[in-house]
Structure 1
Amino acid sequence: MFHDLHPCRHPDLPARLRDETERATAVVLERVLEEIPLYRTLDPVQLADVRETVRIGYEATLELWAAGRLAAPEQLPPFRDNGATRAAEGRPLPLVLRAYRVSGLGIYDYVVDHPEVRLDPEEERNFARLTMAFVDQLSNEVTLGYVETTGQLANQQGRARREFLEDLLAGRLLGAAEVDERASTLGLVLPRSPRLIVAAPRLGDGSGLVDHARIALRELDRSHQADDDTPFRLQLITRGQLVLIDQAADPAHVRRALDAAGLTGVVLTVENLVDLAGAYQQARHVHEYLRTAVVSAGTVVAGDEASLLAVLAKARGDALTKPATSAILGDLLTPAHAVLLETLDAYFLTGNSVSAAHRLGVHAQTMRYRLKRIREITGRDPGLGWDRFLLETALRLSDRPDRVT
C-alpha cells in the first residue's frame, strides 16, 4: 500500500523543520495531553519519557520523509523497547497506541500547517501516506514489545505467587509483617478471612486434575461475578490436590463449584495466613480421609464437619484404632466377606436397605440376607442406634483396600 513513497521534493525542507524539533515536540506533546486526559496525570519522569518519544518520532518522520522510505529494521528496536516499558508500567496498550496515533497526526498537522511550508497536493499526500505508514510500523513494534513483556511479567507474577503460597503452606513465613510485605510486593490485598480449599477428583475418576481445576476456577469466577466482587486467589497443584486460597462471598459457591468440577474437597476459613500451614495439614489429612473413607461420594465438607473429620482422620492412624475396629467388625474385614463389607458401606451411605440394594444393583431379598449375615458375624444390628454408631465408626476408621466410590 505504501510502496510508492518518494523523497520530499524540497530537499532542504526536512532539515529546516528539524531545527524546530524542540518547538514541534512541545506542540505535539500538548496535543497528546489535550486529547488523552489520562496522560496529564503522569509523574514528571513519565512525562519526560513521553516527551522524548515524541521528539524521536518527529525527527525520525522528517528523516524518512527526506529519504522517501519507511524505517529500516535496525531503527525499530527502541520502539519495541518503548512498548515493553509501557507494559512494565502497567499503562494500557490501547492508550499507548492512541498516543502514537495522536502524535503522528500532530506531527503531520505541524508540518502542513507551518506558515513557511507550502506543499502541493501531491507532496502533501506523500507526506500523509508516509506519516500514516510510519505510525503503523511503530504501533506494530510497540505492540510486540508490550505483549512479549506482558507475558513475561505474567509468568514471573504467577511464579512469585506460587512461591508465596508454597511458603505459606510450609510455614516458612514467620509473622504477619512478613506475610503483609510479601503480599504487598505481589500487589495483593489480603482478605480478612480467606478460605482454604483442598480438593481432588473423586476416587476412581481417571481424568486429569488440571481439567477439573480449570472447571472449578471458572465456576468460582462466575460466583464472584454474580457478587460483583473482585476475587483474591492464590492457587497451586501439589501432591495430587488443588490448593486454593480464595475469597469467596458464600461457602455455598465453593460447594457448587467443586461439585460442578467433580471434585471432593475440604473448605476451611483461615483467620490468619500466618497459621495457614496448620490449617493446610488438617485440610489435607481430612481430604485424604474423606476420599478413602467414602463418607459420601463427591462430598465437600467445611467448618465443623471438617473439624470432626479431622478427629477421625487422626484416630485412624492411632495405634489403638486397628485392634478396636477389628474387634467390632470381626471377620467382615477378611477377604472372604468383602461383599458384606461393601454392603455395609452402601447401607450407611444411603440410609436404608432399599436404596442400598439399588445402589449395589442387587435384589431386595439379597440385601436382607446380607444384612442378616452381618448381624450374625458381628453380633450387632446396623439398623439400631448404638450398634450402627459402633459399626460405622469402625468402618470409617478401618484400613481396608476395597471401598465403594
Structure 2
Amino acid sequence: MGRLERAAVQQRLTDDREVVTERISAAIREQIPAYASLGETQRRETEAIVTWGVRRLLELWVTDTSLDEADLQRFRGIGAARGTDGRPLFAVLRAYRVAGVETSGLIGEAAADLTIDDALSLNRVMLASLDQLSEALFAGYTSATERLAADRAQVVRDLADDLVTGRQTSAAALKDRSAQLGITLPAALSITVVGSVAGEVTVGEVDGLAAAVAESSDEVLVLSTCRAGQGVLLHSGPIDLTATGQTAARRTCTVADVPLADLPATCTLAATAVRHAPAAAFAGRSLDEADALLVALLRGEPAVDPRTFASAALHPLLGRGQAHLLQGLDAYLSAGSSVEAGRALGLHAQSMRYRLRRARELTGRDLDSPWDHQLLRTACTIRGMDLE
C-alpha cells in the first residue's frame, strides 16, 4: 500500500467515526473500572478525545510523521485535567493503550490489503505516539497535583466550578478528588448565587464571603467560585450571609439541598433570578427556589414546569392538615380582602385572620408585599388549572 491507499483507509474510518469512537470507548469502559463509572459529561469528553486521537493517529500513519508540539500541549492539558479530577494516572495511561490496540484492529479490518510495511509503519507510529503522549500526560498530571498541594484555594475553586458546570459528575472521581482535598462531599449541597447591584462580583469578594461563612460555622463545608460576574457558594448546611457582612448592595438567591447532578441547572436558575428579578423581590432578603422559578416562568427561560413552581411556592401548605390554610389563602388572593374571603368561605373574621396569619408564618411570605402577593397568587392559580 502506498500513501493514497492509506489515505483511503483513513477516509473509510473517518466516514465511520461514530462507530469507531463507540467501539473504542466501549473497550475502554469494559477494561478500565475508572472509566466505567464516568458521568455523562465526562463520557462525552472521553469520546471527543477518542475521536480526535484516532483522526490524529491516522494522519500520522498516512504521512509517516510524529506528534507535534501542539499535540503534546493538548496531551499535557488532558493530563492536567485528569490530575485535577482525581482519575488515577495508571488508568489514564492504560486507556490510551487500550485505544491503540482497538485502533490497530479497526485499521486492519478497514484495509484488506494491509502489507507488512504498512503494519510496521503503523506499529512505529503507534509506539512513538504512546511514548510521547505518556510523557506529556505525566507532565500535565504531575503539574496539576503539585498545584493541588501549592494552591489549595484555586483547586477548591476549580472543584466548585466543575460542580456547577456539570464537568464533574462521577461519584468515584468526586470521592478521589475530595480525598485529595481532605473534604467529604455530601450527596446534596445548597447553592447560593451572589450578585451586586454595583457591577460584577470579584473572586476576592466571593472568597471573603466563603471564608466568613466557614469561620462562623465550623461544621458547614463551603466551596466558592465565580461565574459570569456572579459569586457562587456551595454549602453543606444553612448559612447566614447577613452575619458575615452581607449588605443590601448584594442580591442573593439560595436553593437548599440540591443533588450534585442537579447543581448545573439549579445554578443557572438561581443566577437568572439574581440577575433579572425586580428589586422589590429582594426586599432585604435572599430569594429562594420559588422566587427563582417564578422569575424563570415570567422570563420564559430557563424552562420550568409551572407545577414545580406551584409546589415550591406552596409546599408548607400542602402537608396533611393544612388544606384549610391553603383554602383561606386562595380565597383571600381571589377576593382581594379578608372580609370578602371570609364571607365567601362562611368564616368568622377571626377565623379568616387566623388562617392568613398561619399561611404567612408557614410560607414566610408577606401578603402586603407586591412580589410575594404575585408569587402566591400565581402559584394558587396554577394549582387550580388542569395542566395534564
Q: TM-score range by the shorter chain?
A: 0.3 to 0.5
The normalised TM-score by structure 2 is 0.40
Structure whose CA Rg is larger: 1
What TM-score do you get using the length of structure 1 for normalisation? Answer: 0.38
